[in-house]
Amino acid sequence: MRSAGAAYDGKTETGTVRRRFGTEETVKLKIGCISGDGIGPEIVGEARKVLERIAVRYGHEISWTDILLGGASIDAHGVPLTPEAVQAAKESDAVLMGSIGGDANTSPWYQLPPDRRPEAGLLAIRKELGLFANLRPALLYEELADACPLKKETSEAGFDLLIMRELTGGLYFGARKTTVENGLRTAVDTLVYNEYEIRRIAVKAFDIARKRRGKVTSVDKANVLDSSRLWRAVVNEVAADYPDVELSHMLVDNCAMQLVKDPAQFDVILTENMFGDILSDEASMVTGSIGMLASASLNDTKFGLYEPSHGSAPDIAGKDIANPIATILSAAMMLRYSFDLDEEADAVEGAVKQVLKEGFRTADIMPQKDAAGSGAACRKCSCSEMGSLIAERI
């Protein structure tokens, strides 16, 4: 709560109240909650537990709005996304989301036309909310270094990077066609970016670099592509407004190599849609477990949709064995980027590190015991236990 006589900082773009001059303000967090499908309700439940602990610990208030999306919406309404769900999301300051979808081979959802399947709802809400900036952190925890597939000296050095991927432009959204020319089937995909699209994602990258270690690596293919040459020119223009942030440029093929050679050199990697799609998957695997990977998608305000990078894992749904850490870390990103609550985000991330340091592991990150006794000190815990352990350490 705000202390008597404390300076009042007013409201942010999202309507929340912030702290100022070392005093504490009550922050009202209006959060939309999409539990999703499969393990979604389990992992989101643990993230909510952690956020509620943050609210108690720091004197904030959270109001939750439950929103249906994907298979859950199909079951309730016959469609993966309703106008009411979109409106509820727009009226929130941020949205926390679990995983969407089911087993494509067995679920009746996948007997529906493509535009009625769960993932169609996900694509639609991203479009409706104007989410153009996708953030994918890749952090290797010291306690999980043995799970990293890179050579030992690389994994022991550790790394903490974030890929900022442009999400609504480029090759995936350009005009496309397949024709027959001179008797040959010919396909054409168009890669288009304008300077506005490049500038807004670059601004996001530089702003977030200021919250991290102050370094941006812009990745392109400027030695070949006109779109990349424009990308590089606009990024340089944006960099002029951020003299405190170090900028470097790297060709995408070199970046792919450097990610497995020396990932510790990177802080924020800024890149276009297709390059970001590929590089973020590469970065995710060098951390050792996709169950640890958070993500965020932001629009041009403070609003964001926060979700784990992994899927809905319907084969383990309801068994209380899923790893909720990616979703909990996504909630930490929400605190940091939508609400500017860096101290609270640090507290969540610190609690995750502490639980791992104490040896607690969900099944997916539980090491195998070997003849030397490696892994013997770790203790397996359930999804709900992991959420409680993290919350208790905040």
Active-site residue set: 172, 221, 253, 277, 281
Interatomic CA distance for residues 142 and 151, integer angstroms: 14
The amino acid sitting at 23 is: T
Query: β-strand 294-298 against 61-66: which pairing, if any?
Result: unpaired
Q: How many CB atoms lie within 10 A of CB 316?
A: 17
Concatenating the DSSP letter of every residue in 282-311 gives: HHHHTTS-GGG-EEEEE-SSS-EEEEESS-
**Number of alpha helices (DSSP H) and beta strands (DSSP E) in the chain:** 12, 14
Interatomic CA distance for residues 379 and 322, integer angstroms: 15
Report the DSSP beta bridge partners of residue 250.
Answer: 219
Interatomic CA distance for residues 47 and 319, integer angstroms: 17
Task: Tell me, rounded to whole angstroms, the distance of Cα 245 from its chain centroid.
Answer: 22
The amino acid sitting at 27 is: V
Helix (H, G, I), strand (E, B) or coil at 161: strand
Q: Judge whether 120 and 74 are in contact, CB under 8 Å.
A: no
Task: Tell me, rounded to whole angstroms, the distance of Cα 80 from its chain centroid.
Answer: 22
